[in-house]
């Protein structure tokens, strides 16, 4: 379910914003340029997936990221990291060669 939830770009953007600090729904709505009901819908999906938790403070509801499900995604991706590392190493070698040729 985590992958399905993360497939939506708006939800990934919400997580990016919450990574910085906890936020109120109004702040998220303004940052996303969405309606409050639209933002709340995405927050509900993130909350149900366990990616976001809500902390009530008087009349306010603070949304914050819960990293536990993301650790599962990270663990699943671990065996594939070598692909990225190899490509980045090749890019670095290529850039170094170009820099040497220019001097």
Indicate the domain borders of the chain.
2-102
Query: Which residues, at least 6 apart from 29, have a Cβ–Cβ distance to it below 8 Å?
Result: 35, 36, 39
How far is it, in rounded angstroms, from Cα 4 to Cα 49? 10
What is the assigned CATH class of domain 2-102?
Answer: mainly alpha
How far is it, in rounded angstroms, from Cα 50 to Cα 19? 15
Query: pLDDT truncated to tens, each residue of the chain (103 aa)?
Result: 788 898 899 999 999 999 999 999 999 999 999 999 999 999 999 999 999 999 999 999 999 999 888 888 888 888 888 877 777 777 788 888 877 777 6
Q: Which residues pair with 61 in a beta bridge?
A: 56
Q: Are 27 and 61 within 8 A, CB to CB?
A: no
pTM metric for this prediction: 0.76
């Amino acid at each position: 379910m985590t992958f399905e939830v993360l497939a939506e770009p708006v939800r990934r953007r919400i997580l990016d914003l919450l990574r910085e600090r906890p936020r109120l729904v109004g702040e998220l709505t303004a940052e996303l340029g969405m309606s409050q009901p639209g933002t709340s819908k995405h927050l509900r999906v993130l909350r149900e997936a366990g990616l976001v938790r809500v902390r009530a403070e008087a009349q306010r509801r603070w949304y914050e990221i819960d990293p536990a499900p993301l650790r599962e995604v990270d663990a699943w991706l671990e065996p594939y990291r070598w692909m990225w590392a190899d490509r980045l190493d090749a890019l670095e070698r290529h850039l170094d060669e170009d820099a040497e040729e220019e001097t």
